[in-house]
Chains A and B, each alone.
Chain A
């Protein structure tokens, strides 16, 4: 027996030491560690447009203009010192002559022209965001620090595109250097890409020679995004001190974090809208009364109570909360809010007996959709509409909805800064993301006017008209916008404005970490 015990002990020891030796190398020690729910998937800005990547590009790259989507979508100079529309179709950028890439080469008009033209390419191996520059017909260099963008029409919102990370300026010289196998890593931002350990983390190191370090210094030597898919795991990791920031902590566990004296829980209004969509081109949702009845049947506050533990705001307008001209629930005209009796009456007007109608609801398999779906099902059952839930992965849902195979569906929409992203991309005739399959000349016309009207008062009115029209027609049943919740080490410095150091939080999740640091 002793021998066996000894042998067993030996095996245990060998295992313990053997494995801890292997693992010790992977231990992370960094100055700022951010726990996120998703893994990055791309290192080239213009090959993607995902929030998780964009938050990383905010460290390594810079855009022509700085878009502060945390505080009212203000625009500040970044690579461009100034810009103006010289006439209805020409936008001119004057570049800051001091900008340098992380490899030391100066950033000039050539790089801007190169980047924008590459981004405009429809070749999917070069760029995946050509849609963002659909209006642009030409980009040309006027002198070394002046670039002119020619468009097919005036647009109130084009400037915001130049503040998006897919259009961050890349180095032409790096692409032309055959020795450089990953030229897209070269940007003019304060950090450089260090390492991406798949399934685990991605790390960025501070650039000591950052061109703008006097005016906008960075602090943390290394910033790491750690991929912790489970919300509860992120929360625990934060409390253990393993990470400094927990993005999207589990709302039901917030009290554990609030009770922890080392942790601050920050909440602000969000912008991502979750909605109940309908294919309005197909029966039965061509019936306006039916859509109105359904809108009255959905109890949005219960949805928020269950899905978000109350941390969210329900809404009537199809536009994302916080966007320019957004109408809150008490500002829209009319509206079909929760009222079961009214829903029943409208259903009768629509010509349906209770129990006579059964509709399919397409829903992604993951949270929060899988929790929302049964609530919608129960809500509609209340007025006598049966719902058959069909769950599928997000990939399938997008393809099915783009093809118009759905009846009802659950999905979400977030915008960077442009209202056109909702007005056009979700509802304009023939747009690929128009999952509602809507084709209404009134909607199209208003969307065009909001984009191109130069008189800002008139433009605002058009935007209000658009929202009110959508509320009346119920082409979509907006559900709620979850609040942005972030928990972090109480030493994390949070910035309230563009000029202050610290992290800038954005309701939509496009946080700006480049100036963030933790105070000991």
Chain B
């Protein structure tokens, strides 16, 4: 741990534009990561366009005569039990899945890092309390946390987001704490303290940038796993109010028809898989690019 971070802190001045440029230069060479980026950009564009091109009420609901159509030219992904076009729903639903996973990851990131940094900086009792709290959330499988939270706050997107953030923050708290603890006693932090900088400024300005690369990598990967978590929860029926076309909810709907209309389960699942794959490719690429020493 010490060894590893010492080398990194030596390069503090590198963080900033030069590191960003360097990372990008390396990342560009990584085909997987570039494919990941391309897919995510495509998906974002598609989602944006979907809101313009599809009027959800008109185009997606209310075609009951076209129920259970197998994939064809008119409906590339087929239609579901209500005659809704699955392609339109998948594209339209991307924004819910992405919003929930990005939102919960960011919320978890901010809260987790803050808690972790405070725990690491102050140590002692504060550290103990915060980290034990984190341990609690770490030890309960996230599904159980989320199911409990959603049953308190009711089924809605915000409660789902909040529930997933609860399952996310502990990872970031650990990263934050570890990074802070390794640099807490370094000279430049001491120097900051000596010139009378307030604690939060020290943490924000001098300590956090040190764990930036770990955070970026972790965030990318966590967004991906949160997409899976969110869809798992709506699959269990604790996520989202119908008829929101969230991918997991679509899978849970399609499950009853799996025998006669398998495509209802196939495509939302593929959407989840490719999105998460893209994020994982990007995350792996970023990890390799940001710290070549980690490259395996």
| B155 touches which of A232, A250, A367, A391 (Cβ 8 Å) | A391
Question: Which of the four size classes fits the interface of chain B?
Answer: 20 to 34
Verify B256–A250 contact, CB threshold 8 A: yes
Verify B61–A378 contact, CB threshold 8 A: yes
Residue of A whose beta carbon sits closest to that of B252? A370
**Given A390-B154, A392-B155, A252 and B82 touching (CB < 8 A)?**
no
**Given A250-B256, A302-B64, A366-B237, A373 and B154 touching (CB < 8 A)?**
no
Verify B155–A253 contact, CB threshold 8 A: no
Verify B256–A252 contact, CB threshold 8 A: yes
Whether A374 sits at the interface, judged by CB under 8 Å, is yes
Residues of chain A contacted by B256 (CB below 8 angstroms): 231-232, 250, 252, 367
**Given A306-B64, A389-B241, A390-B241, A235 and B259 touching (CB < 8 A)?**
yes
Whether A439 sits at the interface, judged by CB under 8 Å, is no
Residues of chain B contacted by A255 (CB below 8 angstroms): 260
Residue of A whose beta carbon sits closest to that of B154? A392
Considering only residues 349-385 of chain A, those with a C-beta below 8 Å from chain B are 363, 365-367, 370-371, 373-375, 377-378, 381
Report the separation of the CA atoms of residues A230 and B255 in the bound assembly, to the nearest whole angstrom: 9
Q: Give min CB distance, A463 to chain B, whole Å.
A: 35
Verify B57–A253 contact, CB threshold 8 A: no
Q: Give min CB distance, A131 to chain B, whole Å.
A: 28
Report the separation of the CA atoms of residues A250 and B68 in the bound assembly, to the nearest whole angstrom: 15
Considering only residues 31-82 of chain A, those with a C-beta below 8 Å from chain B are none
Residues of chain B contacted by A366 (CB below 8 angstroms): 237
Verify A374–B82 contact, CB threshold 8 A: yes
Q: Give min CB distance, B134 to chain A, whole Å.
A: 29
Report the separation of the CA atoms of residues A305 and B257 in the bound assembly, to the nearest whole angstrom: 15
Verify B242–A250 contact, CB threshold 8 A: no
Whether A393 sits at the interface, judged by CB under 8 Å, is yes
Residue of B whose beta carbon sits closest to that of A253? B259
Verify A306–B259 contact, CB threshold 8 A: no
Report the separation of the CA atoms of residues A256 and B151 in the bound assembly, to the nearest whole angstrom: 37
Verify A365–B82 contact, CB threshold 8 A: no
Residues of chain B contacted by A381 (CB below 8 angstroms): 57
Q: Give min CB distance, B60 to chain A, whole Å.
A: 10
Whether B243 sits at the interface, judged by CB under 8 Å, is yes
Considering only residues 211-242 of chain B, those with a C-beta below 8 Å from chain A are 237-238, 241-242
Whether B182 sits at the interface, judged by CB under 8 Å, is no
A284-311 contact mask (Cβ, 8 Å, vs B): 1 or 0: 0000000000000000001001100000
Q: Give min CB distance, A475 to chain B, whole Å.
A: 26
Residue of B whose beta carbon sits closest to that of A307? B81
| B243 touches which of A302, A305, A377, A396 (Cβ 8 Å) | A377
Report the separation of the CA atoms of residues A389 and B67 in the bound assembly, to the nearest whole angstrom: 23
Residues of chain A contacted by B155 (CB below 8 angstroms): 365, 390-392
Considering only residues 252-274 of chain B, those with a C-beta below 8 Å from chain A are 253, 255-261
Residues of chain A contacted by B81 (CB below 8 angstroms): 252, 306, 371
Of A230, A373, A391, most buried by chain B (CB within 10 Å of CB) is A391
Q: Give min CB distance, A314 to chain B, whole Å.
A: 15
**Given A367-B256, A378-B62, A389 and B242 touching (CB < 8 A)?**
yes
Verify B64–A305 contact, CB threshold 8 A: yes
Verify B260–A378 contact, CB threshold 8 A: no
Residue of B whose beta carbon sits closest to that of A305? B64
Verify B242–A252 contact, CB threshold 8 A: no
Given contacts A305-B67, A365-B238, A370-B242, 15 further A-B contacts (CB under 8 A): A230-B255, A252-B256, A252-B259, A252-B261, A256-B260, A306-B67, A370-B253, A371-B81, A373-B243, A374-B242, A374-B243, A389-B241, A389-B243, A391-B242, A392-B155
30 A–B contacts, CB within 8 A, in A order: A230-B255, A232-B256, A235-B259, A250-B257, A252-B257, A253-B259, A255-B260, A256-B260, A305-B64, A305-B67, A306-B64, A363-B242, A365-B237, A366-B237, A370-B237, A371-B82, A373-B243, A374-B243, A375-B82, A378-B57, A378-B61, A389-B241, A389-B242, A389-B243, A390-B241, A391-B155, A391-B241, A391-B242, A392-B155, A393-B151
The 6 A-B pairs of least Cβ separation, nearest first, read A374-B243, A370-B242, A365-B237, A391-B155, A253-B259, A391-B241
